[in-house]
Each structure stands twice: as C-alpha cells, then as structure tokens.
C-alpha cells in the first residue's frame, strides 16, 4: 500500500492516531518538504514515530517518483505531507502514478490551512478561490492572483492568499551552469505579501486589494504561539507577524456582523477598527 498521510499544521504531535499507527507499520517513509514545512525538525518526527524518515524535495517528488513508489505493491510506503495530503496538485500526481502501476493507495487526512483559517472567525463557506502569491523579483511581477481575487470580490467572498516559500532553490546562474548550489530558504512574510498586493493595486487601480482593504494576517497557525491580526492591508504591510509560516486573508464585503465582531478581537488598532470596517464595506 502507498499511504499519503497528513501531518497537520504544527509539529510531530499533530498527526492523527490512525496516521501514527500507519507510519509505525511502514517499511519506507518520506516527508514531502517543499510545498510546505512543519515548524519542527525532522528528528522530532523520527523520535516520536520511531522510524527513519527520508526528506523528499521537489526533484525527488516531481522527477523521481518511481523511487518513492518502488515496491509499494509488496510493502507499505508512506509519504508524509504537511497539512492535508491533497493540499497540493503534486500529491494528486503521485496518486495517479501509483494507480498506473497498480499500487493501492490510501489517504489519511488531517487539518490544513484550508480549514484552519476558521480560527480567524471568517466563515469557511464564505471563501472563494484560494490564490498563491510569489516573490516579485526584478521584472518578474505576475498579476494573475489579482484577477482571481477580483472574481471573489465581485461575489463578496473572502480570499485566502497562500504565500511563497523557497526551499532548495537554485539561482539562475547556478542552474545554467549545472551547479548543485542552493539558495538559503526563504518564506514570504505577511507584510511583504501585503506590500506586493498594494503595489499591483497601484498599477491596476480597480480597488481590489488597496491599502484600505480589510485583511487578516496569520502566523504559525496551529502552533502554541500562533498570531492572528486584522486591520487594513496597509497596516498589515507594516506589521511583523514573526517567524514563518504566514498567510493573508482578504475580507469579502458579504462579511457578517459576527465575523466582524470576531475580527475586532485581533485588530491591530482596536479603537479604529469599526470605523475602518464601515468605510471599507461602504466603498
């Protein structure tokens, strides 16, 4: 059997009981380590699970899936995934490859950012499309995320913005020269994400994600020191949420009064929050 096992949001203890029981019986265990990260080191997982774990980077998962799936038709192999197993298209591709090889597949689900964002007080069924925001570098400033947010805005829906992470990435020069030299890991902050969104708004001028838009920043969701703050996108652009990982939520205009009451608990400026929210909803 090939197992895709969700690890949850924070550390080694977030695995489900069913997931832990499955890990303990597997002959080979991989940890997918590039679409997201746990906030603890691999050795803590190995200590609790009492199993050796192999880190699976982008190259292994996308180009060497045969190595991962080898003999999974005669022994149990697990891929550990931060959050929920189906939170990334990469994992769907692994399932398809396994089934092409007649390898049975089973998934063990867990909490992910997609449902954990309910901690903000925004109601999950009022979210639209989730978008991803990548680092702007040089002339590379893609704006496709803006159009997806615009569609959500037209329906009054909230938007979850997932932020770029760079793990085991090569510079263009090292890539061109074939040198296996990797850049230090980088994790986009909520403040940088807000700055980039405001930058695109200043170019597009369609009032989709302006500095006055109501937003939420989340840091280290599910951890003991998680941070949730609400305010304008301009306020979040200046706010330090602390260490990674971060996410940003844009509040839709069909927001319920109870959602606003909940957001006020996290307001960067509580004395000004109601006025800011009222102005935003009247635009």
pLDDT digits (tens, 9 = 90+) for 118-134: 999 999 999 999 999 99
- Residues making up the annotated binding site are 9, 84, 87, 112-113, 163, 221, 246
Compute the mean pLDDT over every residue in the chain, rounded to the nearest whole number.
92
The number of C-alpha atoms within 13 Å of 237 and in the hemisphere containing its C-beta is 15
Q: In whole angstroms, give the CA distance from residue 114 to residue 162.
A: 10
pLDDT score recorded for residue 155: 97
Which letter does DSSP use for residue 82 in this model? S
Q: In whole angstroms, give the CA distance from residue 244 to residue 258.
A: 29
Neighbours of 75 (CB within 10 A): 13
Q: In whole angstroms, give the CA distance from residue 212 to residue 198.
A: 9
Which letter does DSSP use for residue 220 in this model? S
pLDDT score recorded for residue 175: 67
- Residues making up the annotated binding site for S-adenosyl-L-methionine are 9, 84, 87, 112-113, 163, 221, 246
pLDDT score recorded for residue 172: 64
pLDDT score recorded for residue 41: 86
Whether the per-residue pLDDT at 159 is higher than 90: the answer is: yes
């Amino acid at each position: 059997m090939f197992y895709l096992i969700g690890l949850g949001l924070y550390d080694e203890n977030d695995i489900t009981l069913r997931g832990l029981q499955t890990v303990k019986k597997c002959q080979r265990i991989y940890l997918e380590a590039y679409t997201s990260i746990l906030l603890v080191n691999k050795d803590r997982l190995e200590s609790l699970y009492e199993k050796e774990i192999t880190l699976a980077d982008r190259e292994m998962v996308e180009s060497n899936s045969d190595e991962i799936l080898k003999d999974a038709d005669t022994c149990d192999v697990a891929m550990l995934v931060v959050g929920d197993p189906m939170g990334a298209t990469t994992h769907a591709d692994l399932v398809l490859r396994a089934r092409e090889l007649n390898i049975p597949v089973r998934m063990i689900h867990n909490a992910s950012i997609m449902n954990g964002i309910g901690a903000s007080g925004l109601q999950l069924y009022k979210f639209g499309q989730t978008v991803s925001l990548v680092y702007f570098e040089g002339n590379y400033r893609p704006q496709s995320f803006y159009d997806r947010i615009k569609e959500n805005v037209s329906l009054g829906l909230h938007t979850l913005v997932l932020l770029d992470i760079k793990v085991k990435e090569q510079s263009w020069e090292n890539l061109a020269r074939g040198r296996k030299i990797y850049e230090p890991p980088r994790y986009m902050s909520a403040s940088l994400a807000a700055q980039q969104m405001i930058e695109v708004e200043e170019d597009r001028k369609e009032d989709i994600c302006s500095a006055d838009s109501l937003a939420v920043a989340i840091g280290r969701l599910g951890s003991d020191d998680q941070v949730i703050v609400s305010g304008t996108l301009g306020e979040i652009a200046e706010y330090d949420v602390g260490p990674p990982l971060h996410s940003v939520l844009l509040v839709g205009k069909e927001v319920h009064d109870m959602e606003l009451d909940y957001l006020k608990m996290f307001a960067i400026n509580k004395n000004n929050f109601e006025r800011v929210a009222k102005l935003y909803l009247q635009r």
